[in-house]
Amino acid sequence: MKTYTAWLPFLKEVPPRGLETAELAAWELEQGLRGLDCGLSGRCAVDGTMPEEAYRLERDGETCLVTGGRIGVLYGVYALLRALALGQALPEGVQRPFYPARMINCWDNADGSIERGYAGRSLWFEGGAVRYDPDRLLELARLMASVGLNVLCLNNVNVRDPAERLIEDWLPKLRELAALFRPFGIRLMVSVDFAQPMLHGIPTADPLDERVAAWWRERARDIWTQIPDLYGFLVKADSEHRPGPFTYGRSHAEGANMLARAIAPYGGKLVWRAFVYNCLQDWRDQTTDRPCAAYDTYVPLDGQFDANVILQVKNGPFDFQVREPVSPTLLKMAHTSLALEFQLAQEYTGQQIDIYAMAPLFREVFDEVPPEKVQAVAAVSNFGRDGNYFGHPFAAANLFSFGCFAWDPASEPGETMAAWAGLTYPSCARTLTEEILLPSREIYEQYTAPLGLCWMVNPNHHYGPNPMGYEFQSWGTYHRASRDAVGIDRTGAGTGYAAQYPPAMRARYENPETCPDRLLLFFHRLPYSFVMRDGRTLIQRIYDDHFEGAERVEKMAEILRTLPLPQPDRDTALARMEKQLANAREWRDVVNTFFWRFSGVPDAHGRKIYD
Ligand code: GCU
């Protein structure tokens, strides 16, 4: 019997190992219908003529019928069980995912730690080796498959010894893991180090050096012989001190294509991250503007990448801050396959202590980036070895909703959150959805960094306020608050970043009258006396947001205490809420005091701001 069923409470047993997908689908259907106790029977069948991941649901009296492609049949079973559990009508017609690759990137290190992991240690690494509890992985595979996620990258993009040798020394273990995930339609991927050949006596990692290319070809042959359906390699190159083609004066197209060609014969994909910027910037330098970096590096290379290269671009031009505009790179590379990258791990957004439901973020991003502009989606994982996988039981909602948006980018946050809450906590789904989950992003934003400023966090671990924490550092992360003004001018008169957007967006952002309030200080440097559209001054708006954000957390806490959540979720959620309350108060007071000390402008309502 499982101890944690997340959003699948009707699936109480861990599925057996070694089933084929069709057998697994039948097993899940049988168990799910029994768990739902709904008096219905069901059948599922593979229809070889349907696309692999597609399915169709039908009902004939008391019998439900799932028909699907090789993997779609399993997706169909989960969709059926979900609809029955929620009392929803079955979707009509053939259902299929919008994106072929719906990826999770784990930042797990071989020592068992997880970079930016807030839910315990790795589920498959410990002590420098691959170690795992198969039942827990089967449960995870089921959670992923139940929302249609189909690629799992096992190791950190910052490949560090000994995980560096994953593809050399640990192939038998990878093969075992691949077999565990395969019936669920999940293909594995591994992060590789661009300089990996140098661990094997090759004196260079120059992508145009034949010895380097030959080494990768051999590796690819070994790997795909063992794991014929490995999805591919994920690479972080020339980024935050990782090695890359720049060392050899080569472009990122040359670097990526060399690797892509090694794995192309096996159908492998080369996922190349576009997170490249100068992380050794002098803070005095006001002309270099970090958000410009990805576009400047990659847009000139559009059309030069091989067909099996996917360029993976973070949703915003910085780094998963609470509020960023969408990355203009996503809008400008029509001749390159792109993957849009989110971070489910709440690095800058509360670290799975503070409640932060991401469905509204996904909606906002797809409202600005037409879904067909990208060919795949990826998200940094938010799970680990904690009993409930996610640290905070509500953080599960983020994996769930990412799956929903990856399947259908036209998804609506309200429906997605209602579905997750309805499945997980049916007795209080509505209140949880409306009063807690849906507003949680806005509330978090109100009590933390104002109006698109970003980077007011404590350096390194990134939890809690520190308005000057990144101000004099080398990471290109400045708000340049002074006694008169705050923000960065990114218009044509400033760093020019806004010019990277298509004309209509550029015009909207460049004019403070039309720039959305939430991004005002991302695009503009404005005096504290600037009058916002609603008549308030900028400084007053900063104070108001912080007071209001912290108050809203207090209200949220009151509501949370009344919810009949099952144990141990209730205790976990309440304990974390105490920390969120403290965090919100700390943010409110630190940020308000910071701006009061600079501006000397008191709060118009006379609320307490510390000197
Ligand atoms: C952030 C994060 C790092 C991570 C990096 C990345 O900067 O703090 O831990 O390595 O993103 O996306 O590669």
Whether pLDDT at 162 is above 70? no
357's torsion region: left (phi>0), alpha (psi -120 to 50) or beta?
Answer: beta
Phi, psi of 392 (to 5 degrees): -90, 130
For ligand 1, atom 13: residue with the closest CA: 157
CATH 3.30.160 positions along the chain are 1-95
Which stretch of DSSP H or E encloses residue 504?
A: helix 503-510
3-state secondary structure (DSSP) of residue 285:
coil
Q: Which fold has domain 426-488+525-611?
A: Alpha-d-glucuronidase, C-terminal Domain (3.90.1330)
CB of 31 closer than 8 Å to CB of 11: yes
Ligand 1: does its nearest atom lie under 6 Å from the Cβ of 113?
Answer: no
d(CA 57, CA 60): 10
The Å distance, Cα 283 to ligand 1 centre, comes to: 20
Tell me the best of 319, 320, 324, 454 to mutate to test the pocket of ligand 1, counting ligand atoms within 8 Å of each CB and taking the most.
Answer: 319
Ligand 1: does its nearest atom lie under 6 Å from the Cβ of 314?
Answer: no
Instruction: Note the pLDDT tens digit of each residue in 428-477.
Output: 999 999 999 999 999 999 999 999 999 999 999 999 999 999 999 999 99
Instruction: Note the pLDDT tens digit of each residue in 327-356.
Output: 999 999 999 999 999 999 999 999 999 999
Instruction: Note the pLDDT tens digit of each residue in 11-61.
Output: 999 999 999 999 999 999 999 999 999 999 999 999 999 999 999 999 999
Tell me the best of 116, 191, 342 to mutate to test the pocket of ligand 1, counting ligand atoms within 8 Å of each CB and taking the most.
Answer: 116
Instruction: List helix spans (H) across 434-502.
Output: 438-447
Kindly give the interhelix angle for 438-447 and 359-368, rounded to the nearest 10 degrees. 90
Active site residues: 240, 319, 347
CATH 3.40.50 fits 1-95, yes or no: no
217-243 per-residue burial string, b: 16 or more CB within 10 A, e: under 16: eebbeebbeebeebbbbbbbbbbeebb
61's torsion region: left (phi>0), alpha (psi -120 to 50) or beta?
Answer: left
Q: Give, in order, the Cα–Cα distances in Å from 325 to each of 328, 375, 486, 511.
A: 8, 20, 18, 15
User: Ligand 1: which atom is nearest the Cα of residue 236?
Assistant: 13
Instruction: List helix spans (H) across 161-292.
Output: 166-169, 171-181, 210-226, 252-263
The Å distance, Cα 592 to ligand 1 centre, comes to: 28
CATH 3.90.1330.10 positions along the chain are 426-488+525-611
Ligand 1: does its nearest atom lie under 6 Å from the Cβ of 158?
Answer: yes
CB of 344 closer than 8 Å to CB of 295: no
d(CA 469, CA 482): 15
Ligand 1: does its nearest atom lie under 6 Å from the Cβ of 159?
Answer: no
CATH 3.20.20.80 positions along the chain are 101-411
The Å distance, Cα 380 to ligand 1 centre, comes to: 10
pTM, rounded to two decimals: 0.98
Going by their DSSP bridges, the two strands 101-108 and 269-273 should be labelled as unpaired
15's torsion region: left (phi>0), alpha (psi -120 to 50) or beta?
Answer: beta
Ligand 1: does its nearest atom lie under 6 Å from the Cβ of 141?
Answer: no
For ligand 1, atom 7: residue with the closest CA: 319
Average pLDDT of span 146-161: 94
The Å distance, Cα 462 to ligand 1 centre, comes to: 11
Ligand 1: does its nearest atom lie under 6 Å from the Cβ of 115?
Answer: yes
**How many percent of the chain have pLDDT more than 70?**
99
d(CA 366, CA 326): 9
The CATH code belonging to domain 101-411 is 3.20.20.80
Instruction: Note the pLDDT tens digit of each residue in 548-559.
Output: 999 999 999 999
How many other CB atoms sit within 10 Å of the CB of residue 321?
A: 23
Q: Which token pair is 608?
A: 């307490």
For ligand 1, atom 1: residue with the closest CA: 319
Q: Which token pair is 583?
A: 């965090």
* Local structure of residue 435 (DSSP, 8 states): I
For ligand 1, atom 11: residue with the closest CA: 319
d(CA 284, CA 72): 55
Instruction: Note the pLDDT tens digit of each residue in 468-482.
Output: 999 999 999 999 999
**pLDDT band at 163; cut points 50, 70, 90:** low
Which stretch of DSSP H or E encloses residue 80?
A: helix 72-86
User: Ligand 1: which atom is nearest the Cα of residue 343?
Assistant: 12
Residue 165 has a pLDDT of 82
Average pLDDT of span 89-107: 98
d(CA 450, CA 587): 11
How many other CB atoms sit within 10 Å of the CB of residue 265?
A: 11
* Local structure of residue 202 (DSSP, 8 states): -
Residue 172 burial class via C-beta count within 10 angstroms: exposed 0-12, middle 13-18, buried 19 and up: exposed
Ligand 1: does its nearest atom lie under 6 Å from the Cβ of 353?
Answer: no
